Amino acid sequence: MLREDLTKILFDETAIAARMDALVECIDRDHADKDIVVIGILTGSCIFLGDILRRLTLPLTVECLSVASYHGEMQSSGVVTFRQSVMPDVAGRHVLLVDDILDTGRTLKAVGAKIRELGAMDVKSCVFLRKQIKREDVDADYVGFDIGDEFVVGYGLDYMGYYRNLPYVGVLSPEAVTRHAKK
């Protein structure tokens, strides 16, 4: 049923695995001899984060932040909400933020600012997907794939909580959007 809700598949499992290997090679090289804190921005990054973590060969600790900017919609609301009261201890540490998608840039910008405010030595970011659109003054240091301005699901990305479990990334059909909106 889930596959039929997509108009096309952008990246299959083989392409994703190959890109993860290349990304981690760059991250390992750039962070050689550093002890890093990897912070996953949940919930969308969970699958990407797991794949990155399993490939990294660096000494690291893992933290997660729960933030929201879409609030169940297809476009960012423009408001980034931190959903936890206790923030990770990053003072004097090298931090790698891992997120699912760089869209407007608001989430990555807000999280990066918060982590810097908490005293991180430096903050780098890694995103699975980067939309090729005009955005705020923010970009990712490491990018899995560039995509057009399409609403995508799979590999952790969702619509109304569905489709995260797809092992590939695809474009959601307008019919599926309409069907979920009626629920």
Active site residues: 103
Quick check: helix, strand or coil at residue 174? helix
Alpha carbon 14 to chain centroid, angstroms = 19
E strand spans, 132-168 = 142-147, 152-153
**What are the residues facing 69 on neighbouring strands?**
none
